[in-house]
């Protein structure tokens, strides 16, 4: 890094949940990134007035808590609605006239799993990130002046394009505020710069594995939405079991 007289907070990118514990989670704000589709759906539900989202690790827990609090049970396994749950993991399932004032209990293959891993490792703070709330995430991270770990949820621990691209988008916007000595972050930013003109076309061209998985389910509309910056631009912050909105400070 170029020398600087002021000490900047550190920023790292963890490209897979398996890499998270390389970094000092306990001194960092961990941004949970699951672009297709968990964190895009979370910000959409909160943007549309959901009271909160409860991220849970298992389908059983989702059903149990959903019953207990009369919440909306939702989630997917392998990209489709999980058996026993009422709703799925598409942002289009949560318009304002349905979700406003309600609590969503959500479990997904990768995103909610990573969130619980970050919790277990004692993350200083947890927020969720996705293109639909890109600006809120960036503004918050700059304002907090804390160390940051951009945590990609990946797909069953395999590094993926879309979460890496979101990490790159954040880095390209806020890098001057952080000390970044992390090749994963540089790789993410390089990928984003290659892709930013048309993220959708880039994923398609690069034959991204999850792009294919979802298009096989007819979910092109979901993918396009999940790659749209600031379409549901609220900050989603984890507080004592609940993801809730908070305006950037």
Where do contacts with a copy of itself occur on this chain (CB under 8 A)? 1, 15-16, 18-19, 22, 155-161, 164, 181-184, 186-187, 190-191, 194, 206-210, 212
Q: Which one, 20 or 56, has the nearer CB to a copy of itself?
A: 20
Return left, alpha or beta for 78; rule: phi > 0 is left, psi -120 to 50 is alpha, else beta. left
Burial class (CB in 10 A: 0-12, 13-18, 19+), 88: buried
Q: Which one, 19 or 50, has the nearer CB to a copy of itself?
A: 19
Q: In sequence order, what DSSP letters do the residues of 189-210 get, joined into one string?
A: HHHHHHHTT-HHHHHHHTT-HH
Query: How far apart are alpha carbons 106 and 37 in whole angstroms?
Result: 12
Q: How far is the CB of 183 from a copy of itself (least distance, A)?
A: 5
Q: How far is the CB of 10 from a copy of itself (least distance, A)?
A: 13
Q: How far is the CB of 186 from a copy of itself (least distance, A)?
A: 5
Q: Which one, 38 or 50, has the nearer CB to a copy of itself?
A: 38
Q: Which one, 87 or 161, has the nearer CB to a copy of itself?
A: 161
Q: Which one, 165 or 232, has the nearer CB to a copy of itself?
A: 165
Using DSSP's 3-state secondary structure scheme, residue 52 falls into: strand
Going by C-alpha positions, the residue among 65, 110, 69, 99 that lies closest to residue 84 is: 65
Q: How far is the CB of 154 from a copy of itself (least distance, A)?
A: 9
Query: How far apart are alpha carbons 74 and 28 in whole angstroms?
Result: 29
Q: How far is the CB of 204 from a copy of itself (least distance, A)?
A: 12
């Amino acid at each position: 890094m170029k020398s600087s007289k002021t000490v900047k907070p550190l920023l790292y990118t963890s490209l897979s949940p398996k890499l998270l514990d390389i970094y000092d989670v306990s001194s960092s704000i961990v941004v949970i990134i699951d672009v297709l589709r968990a964190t895009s759906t979370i910000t959409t539900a909160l943007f549309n007035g959901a009271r909160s989202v409860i991220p849970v690790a298992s389908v059983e827990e989702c059903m149990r808590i959903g019953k207990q609090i009369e919440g909306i049970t939702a989630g997917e396994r392998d990209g489709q609605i999980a058996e026993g749950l009422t709703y799925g993991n598409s942002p289009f399932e949560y318009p304002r006239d349905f979700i406003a004032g309600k609590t969503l209990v959500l479990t997904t293959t990768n995103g909610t799993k990573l969130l619980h891993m970050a919790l277990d490792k004692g993350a200083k703070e947890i927020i969720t990130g996705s293109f639909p709330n890109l600006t809120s995430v960036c503004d918050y991270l700059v304002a907090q002046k804390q160390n940051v770990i951009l945590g990609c949820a990946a797909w069953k621990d395999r590094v993926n394009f879309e979460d890496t691209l979101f990490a790159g988008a954040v880095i390209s916007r806020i890098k001057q505020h952080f000390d970044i000595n992390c090749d994963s972050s540089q790789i993410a930013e390089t990928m984003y710069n290659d892709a930013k003109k048309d993220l959708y076309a880039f994923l398609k061209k690069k034959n991204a594995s999850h792009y294919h998985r979802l298009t096989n389910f007819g979910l092109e509309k979901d993918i396009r939405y999940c790659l749209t910056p600031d379409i549901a631009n609220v900050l989603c912050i984890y507080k004592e079991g609940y993801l809730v909105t908070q305006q950037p400070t």
